[in-house]
Structure 1
Amino acid sequence: MLGILKSSTTFRITRPTGVFCSRMSFNISNYSTDAIADRYKSKLLEKAKAQGFNSVEELQESMKEKLQENRKAYDKIDPLKELEKYEQQVQMSKNIMQANKLRKTKNSEGSSRSSASANTNRGSSNVGTSELSDKNAPFKTLASYLELEKVKDLSPQEIEYLWRAKWGQTDGAMNAVVPLETFDKMLVKVKEHPVFVLPLPRANTSGEKDEASEGMELHYIQWQFPNSQTSHCLMTSLAEYKLHKEFARPHTTLEFHSELGKDKNIVLMNGNVEPSMNISIQEAQLLLLNVQRFYGAMGYDTPSSKQRLQLLKDFTNGSSDFNLDKLIILSQSMEN
């Protein structure tokens, strides 16, 4: 199968005869909130009195105040606080290492005892940084999933077998073993264009699979680099991102681990599709396929691939040449 996702799932990608982005509308003309309120008025009044209120209105007002308090508390939450703290610890460890190296240089003409002491200090700093990276990081590294000391003597094929076996029975899990050359080729464009949007075919509101009336839903693709050996690809529906911005919840998270790249020439990928986000694993795989195609994992040798690269550049530069219709066509083109 083309691309970096070595999966038994294959995709039949066809160009629809008519592609459009549509808005959903809901018919609520027969809905009456007053009727529901009257039906449960007595029960609401009982609940209000049980909580010490004289009327339903007082109960509703109290609940409104509680919701506002909860909202204020939520607004104070900083999801990046742990990551910032971790980065400060890493920087502190680096500063200690640099200070020890400088001290060693200044004392290089001293006694052998002083030189040995400097080496000991430098070694302990290295250990601290390594332990911090593996154990205390607020994100998963490859060491979170595999015993690196045990796999270093295995062949790439044996590691691939272990990796696929680890995730094979996990619901909503995705995995891949990526050739280092392919990943490095893609990573160049990823760092140049860390955000992008990709379309995903969605069935119409009637549930019928009529290709002519199939719509498109845009998804926000964002790359992050917690450290030099870990890359994250976050996929979020554009509607979710517009609503919550940096607090938007991704429906799919992909992790790329390059710790074994130098020795084994492979990069290990694992991902997870949130079960409550109305995205199937097949749809997430289709998005991943287009991530590969637009970010050049398969090269830029064909006319279609060159057009995809140009769309990446246009989106990053905010160019008026960025065309949504062309994006949809190229995402469904059979040509790589």
Structure 2
Amino acid sequence: MSSIRSPVLRHLLAGSPRTLRASNQRRWAQVHDVRFLATTQQPRNVLEKYREKLDRKAREEGHGDIEALKSAYADKIKSLRKQADVVGVPPVNGVPPPPPPPTSPTSTSTSAPTSKAKPASTAAAAAAAAAAGGVESKSGTAPLSAILDLSKARMLPEKELAAIWKYHHATKPNTLCAVIPAATFERIESAAQKFPSFVLPVPHPDQGAEIHFLQWTWDAATRSSTVLFTQLAEYKARGEFAQPHTTVTHYTELKGEKGVVLMQGQVVEDRGVKMDEARWLVMCLQKFYGGWEGEVGGEGRRELLEWFGRGDSRFSVEKLLEEAERMG
């Protein structure tokens, strides 16, 4: 994960996560009638813990120090962070997955990695999928051709394609999916290219809210964009070693032909985030990045996104919580 230069984020990182969760505690408890599990894992300094082993590995491989070792493995580290490539989100229009259609172009030769797979295994699976689809991707993101038979998908009407995509993900654990209209995604992506990082709150009744950090990345080889979600406390503790708990990938390969963008993602187990929380984060992502054009409150959300991205002092966690409360 690349370094972040926003003064606002540096201010958030300097603050206490506990203080952020306690902010507006009473209001969150009154507004949100949902059950969430707070993350209480104490952060650890990974670099210090494994410094001796890293030093030894650097010497064994002929690198001068740990920094040289990190540089040599930079591409591999980046690839491993993007491997949870099958996550699902409720459709933008809120319609539940339909019953299975009579025929499906979904590929049976390539299965999506499960959340229990080890990172190295997932990376290998993604690389194999990319090779099978004839696409070389340094990011490790599997191409859409590894998920759908594109020759058959291109022959389907938009509604049938959407139905197949939703059905394909309906029974997969810890996954989210959506079919996003092309015009809607173009608004979202336009804002993302200007402001590729942001923070979002997840409400915890009786405990305030926990702040999560998101970052957009793009992969030209697979014509996709990916959003990585990480607890802000995790990012503060581990920096570039922080592991995302949710990864959401948008495929634009059929955008021109079918007028839709296919989205899927993965919620990683045992990282302190439940499916309901992941759905909330993706819904907030779409709303703050302009997915609902003309909606009441949209201007306030847009301002917060811009203020954060530009390091404007007008941005504050208090205002972020107030805006998120109105969406709840």
| TM-score, length-scaled by structure 2 | 0.62
Asked if the contact 2:133–2:145 (Cα under 8 Å) also holds between the matched residues in 1, the reply is: no
Q: Deviations over 1:150-172 (max 9, x none)?
A: 21111111111221122111110
Which residue in the other structure is 2:197 paired with?
195
Of the three residues 134, 141, 144, the one matched with 2:143 is: 141
1:282: Cα distance to partner? 0.7
1:84: Cα distance to partner? 9.4
**Is the aligned partner of 1:241 residue 2:241?**
no
Q: Secondary structure at the match of 2:27?
A: coil
Asked if the contact 1:134–1:144 (Cα under 8 Å) also holds between the matched residues in 2, the reply is: no
Which residue in the other structure is 1:218 paired with?
211
Report the CA distance shift for 1:24/1:147 in structure 2 as closer, same or farther (over 3 A). closer
Asked if the contact 2:226–2:247 (Cα under 8 Å) also holds between the matched residues in 1, the reply is: yes
Counterpart CA distance in 2 for 1:240 and 1:284 is 16
Q: Secondary structure at the match of 1:320?
A: coil
Q: How does 1:291-306 map to 2 (within 5 A)?
A: 291-302=285-296, 304-306=297-299
1:135: Cα distance to partner? 3.5
Asked if the contact 1:177–1:266 (Cα under 8 Å) also holds between the matched residues in 2, the reply is: yes
**Is the aligned partner of 1:162 residue 2:156?**
no
Counterpart CA distance in 2 for 1:224 and 1:298 is 22
Q: Which amino acid aligns with 1:243?
A: A
Q: How does 1:1-336 map to 2 (within 5 A)?
A: 17-19=26-28, 68-72=51-55, 73=57, 75=66, 76-77=69-70, 78=72, 80-81=74-75, 134-137=134-137, 138-202=140-204, 211=205, 213-227=206-220, 229-302=223-296, 304-334=297-327
Q: Secondary structure at the match of 1:225?
A: strand
Report the CA distance shift for 1:67/1:326 in structure 2 as closer, same or farther (over 3 A). closer
Q: Secondary structure at the match of 2:53?
A: helix
Q: Deviations over 1:267-298 (max 9, x none)?
A: 00000000111111110000111111110100
Counterpart CA distance in 2 for 1:162 and 1:18 is 41
Q: Secondary structure at the match of 1:333?
A: helix
With a CA cutoff of 8 Å and minimum separation of 6, indicate the structure with the bigger relative contact order.
2
Which residue in the other structure is 1:116 paired with?
none
Taking only aligned residues, the RMSD between alpha carbons, in angstroms, comes to 3.2
Counterpart CA distance in 1 for 2:133 and 2:76 is 14
1:134: Cα distance to partner? 3.7
Q: Deviations over 1:180-227 (max 9, x none)?
A: 01101111111111000001112xxxxxxxx4x322110001000011
Counterpart CA distance in 2 for 1:272 and 1:291 is 15
Counterpart CA distance in 2 for 1:320 and 1:183 is 29
1:19: Cα distance to partner? 4.8
Report the CA distance shift for 1:67/1:83 in structure 2 as closer, same or farther (over 3 A). closer
Report the CA distance shift for 1:152/1:80 in structure 2 as closer, same or farther (over 3 A). farther
Asked if the contact 1:177–1:267 (Cα under 8 Å) also holds between the matched residues in 2, the reply is: yes
Q: Deviations over 1:232-281 (max 9, x none)?
A: 01100001111222221000000000100001001000000001111111
| TM-score, length-scaled by structure 1 | 0.61
Task: Mark the runs of 5 or more structure 2 residues left unpaired by the alignment.
Answer: 1-23, 30-37, 43-48, 59-65, 80-129
- Aligned length, in residue pairs: 227
Counterpart CA distance in 1 for 2:211 and 2:78 is 31
Q: Deviations over 1:102-139 (max 9, x none)?
A: xxxxxxxxxxxxxxxxxxxxxxxxxxxx9798433222
Counterpart CA distance in 2 for 1:167 and 1:245 is 32
Counterpart CA distance in 1 for 2:166 and 2:152 is 17
**Structure possessing the higher radius of gyration over alpha carbons:** 1
Q: Which amino acid aligns with 1:286?
A: W
Counterpart CA distance in 1 for 2:150 and 2:209 is 42
Range 67-76 or range 323-332, more displaced: 67-76
Asked if the contact 2:28–2:325 (Cα under 8 Å) also holds between the matched residues in 1, the reply is: no
Q: Secondary structure at the match of 1:259?
A: coil
**Bigger proportion of residues as helix:** 1
Aligned sequence identity (%): 29
Report the CA distance shift for 1:320/1:201 in structure 2 as closer, same or farther (over 3 A). same
Which residue in the other structure is 2:94 paired with?
none
